[in-house]
Structures are given as C-alpha cells and as structure tokens.
Amino acid sequence: MTPLRANTPARAGPAERRLQGGRWRAVLAIAGPGLISASAGNDAGGIATYASAGSEFVYRTLFFMVVVTIAYVAVQEMTARLAVHTGKGLAALIREQFPLRWTALAMTCFAVANVGLVVTEFAGIGAAFELFGVSRYIAVPLAAVAIWILVVGGSYRHAERIFLLLSLVFVTYPVAMILGHPDWTLVGSSTVLPHFEGSKAFVLLGVALVGTTITPYIQLYEAGALVDRGVGPAEYGRVRLDAIGGAIVSDVVSMCIIVATGAAIGGSGVLTSAAEAAKALRPVAGSLAELLFGLGLLGASALAAAVVPLSTAYALAEAVGVERSVSRTFREAPVFLGVFTAQIVVGALVVLLPGNLIELIVNTQVLEGLITPVTLAFVFVLACRREVLGEAVNGRLGRAVGAVSVVGVGALSLLLVVLAFLGWFGVG
C-alpha cells in the first residue's frame, strides 16, 4: 500500500462527508438567535440614533460606542449561557429567582419599553415606504397584517431570512464610510480616546445609544428563541460564538453608520427625516441612495416589528407560566399569541397619528436607555448565581465586566434624570 505524502490530505469517504455535512447543518441550525437579535437591534431606532450621532456630533461618540460594545458582548453572552444551561427564558428565571414585586417591576419595564419600540418599528416601516412615495396610512396597516400572518401562520422562520436579507443592505455603510473620505486621523483618535461632552444633548444621545444597542427586547428574544429551539449545553460553544459574533458585527455596522453619516452631513444638527439619513449612502448609490436606504430600513424595521412583540410575548408568557411558541395555535397559546397580536395593533395605530417619526424614534431609544440598567442588573445577578448556572456561573472576568457595565449604564441613566430634573428648574 503506497503511503500518503505528508502534505497530501486524505480524501473523506462518503460516511465522513455526510458527517461533515451534518456538522455544518448543525452549525447553521444553531447559529441564528444571537445574530438575528443583534441584527434586529439595527432597526429603525438604531439607524435613526446612530445617524443622529454622526449628524450632530460627527465622530465624537465612537469611543463611547466601543465601551457600549464591550458591555453588549458581555450581556449577550450571559443571556445565551443562561438560556442554554437552564432551558428557561429570562422572564421565567426572574420569576423563579426573585420576589413577586421584583418580577412585576421587570415585566412592567419590559412591556412599556417594548410597546414603545413596536411603535418605532412601524414608524420605520412608514418612513421607508414614504421614501418610495407610498403613504404610511396605506403601508403601515398592510405591513401589520402581513407580519401578523407570517408569525401566527407559522411561516416566520422563512420570513426571518427575507428580513435579514433586506437588512443586509446596511452592510453598504462600511463602503459608504470609505467612499465618503472621512478624516481617518480624527476617526481613529475618536475611537480610541475618550471624547465626552458635558452637554445635556450629548448625555441624551449617549443614553439613546445605550438603549438602542443593549436593548432589553434583544435579550428577551435571544433567550426565548434558544429555549424555543431546544438548544442544550452541548451546543453552547456554537451559541456563544453566535451571540458574541452577532453583537460585534452589529456594533461594527453601527459605528460605520456613525462615521458615514458624520462624513456626509456631520455638524448639521439633529436629523429630521429618513431622507437626511439616506444622504450617507450617496457615495455608494448616488441618486439611488434613498431607494437603497429605504429597502434596508424596511427590512430592519419589519424584522424588529416581529422580534420585539415576540420578545414581550415570550416574557409575559414565561412570567405566568403558560405555553409560548410560534409553532402553537391560538387555542394552544392564547396568552402568547394574544400579547403578540395586541402589540402589533397598538404599534400600527399609534404610527398613524400625525407627528415627526424620527423624533419619536430617537426619544423611544432614550426610554430604552433608562430601562436598560434594570435588564442588565437582572441578567448579571442571575449569571452570578451558582444555584442557577452551577459550574457555568460567571467567573472573575465576567463578574468584573458585568458589574462595570451595570454601574456605568446605571450612572449614565441617572445623570440624564438629574439633568432633566435640573432643567425643570431652569438649571443647566
């Protein structure tokens, strides 16, 4: 028998090829909740807030975004670890591990924030269609019905892929960033060196950036989706990669949005329309910038318009201990699907009221930022409890990063509240 050369790989036989193919299919089957939830974070609220950061403060929020990304990676990983090792969503764990009053507080925060977010997602859908010349009064009701049918009708898994495909349009922001010829020295220094301002406007936007990045619904959805898929501890390595990778990729795109917008319209002040946000894509698409931006905004908003109400439905159904799954019928899961339906209806109706959609979207992200410390605190405490995670409990590094994240985000939110309070008395 002729020996194989050392640098000649052996060919896989049929059985080995089937095994390798099975492994790749397993990876693709597991990968998803982290990437989907993180991608959903770059929704209408995210895009408007990141674009506003570039428009108002050019590149000065980039270092802040690096810090936020570290916290985001930490909370996404802890959330995935809790779901995989316990087989329970966040709401169920909170109900089991904390007193009833704390559970009620958590659920109230989740519900209030998420209903506001559903409104912003439909606002994003309306803004996208207005770029195409279609009135929001026609587009939003049709979109609401379509999203409801996709989820309740059991075809949501296929819709996920379509929405994600449309959302990939925003991958053009890195290209737009490069073609926009920003001041790379300033971009670099703004990314690695702290650039903070003591103004209320900067703090307000900082809280909005936290709220739109480390959004509570993202953690609720990620945990609920992992439990729904039945992912166990044996797959944790893949799930961890999905969670961390999704968070990093999402925030890299977010920072590209800031740089691209800063290069295109930086220093022009607060955004007032989706058309202004689309200007950052002109180096890539030219006169088609609005069309390209509109497609991406539509995909991101539609994905989040399904994910956000699903996360609330997961949380409330888990909190009361009833059936929750997108594969169930209304008769089998009335609370879960009823909560989902109610949010779709409320979100669509509110957007049909007159008002500035961009201002509504950014203000909702500020609300998210005020509620985010509550979510972080619950996730951090749960991930530090050995009776919950056993040997998978937070180590020293996890405890340190988690504690700094909770305290830092909480302090920023408190600062905004103090500034708002002083503003009522004409101070600051």
Nearest to 368 by CA among 360, 90, 261, 240: 360
Q: What is each CA distance from 128 to 3, 156, 157, 274, 358, in whole angstroms?
A: 63, 21, 23, 8, 12
pLDDT of residue 157: 66
pLDDT of residue 149: 87
Q: Which amino acid is at 195?
A: H
Contact of 250 with 42, CB cutoff 8 Å: yes
pLDDT of residue 91: 81
For the record, the structure tokens of 355 come out as 């008002």
Residue found by looking up tokens 């803004």 in the block = 127
Which DSSP letter does residue 426 get?
Answer: T
Contact of 308 with 121, CB cutoff 8 Å: yes
Q: Write down all domains in the chain, each with its CATH number in brackets.
A: 30-424 (1.20.1740.10)
**Angle of helix 334-351 versus helix 289-320 axis, rounded to 10:** 140
pLDDT of residue 288: 82
Q: Cα separation of 323 and 320, whole Å? A: 9
For residue 53, which phi and psi values (nearest 5 degrees)? -60, -45
For the chain, the residue count is: 428
Each residue of 376-406: pLDDT tens digit?
A: 899 999 999 999 998 889 988 889 988 888 8
pTM recorded for the entire structure: 0.79
Each residue of 339-380: pLDDT tens digit?
A: 889 999 999 998 888 766 667 777 777 777 888 888 889 999
**Angle of helix 200-213 versus helix 62-86 axis, rounded to 10:** 30
Residue stretches of the chain with pLDDT short of 70 = 1-42, 154-160, 163-164, 166-167, 324-327, 355-358, 420-428
Contact of 46 with 301, CB cutoff 8 Å: no
For 32, the 3-state DSSP assignment is: coil
Nearest to 298 by CA among 173, 162, 177, 174: 162
pLDDT of residue 159: 66
pLDDT of residue 198: 73
Contact of 227 with 19, CB cutoff 8 Å: no
pLDDT of residue 230: 80
Q: Which amino acid is at 275?
A: A
pLDDT of residue 31: 46
Q: Cα separation of 215 and 300, whole Å? A: 15
Q: Which amino acid is at 149?
A: I
For the record, the structure tokens of 7 come out as 């640098």
Q: Which amino acid is at 30?
A: I
Torsion angle, alpha carbons of 139, 141, 142, 145, to 10? 150
Q: Cα separation of 169 and 137, whole Å? A: 25
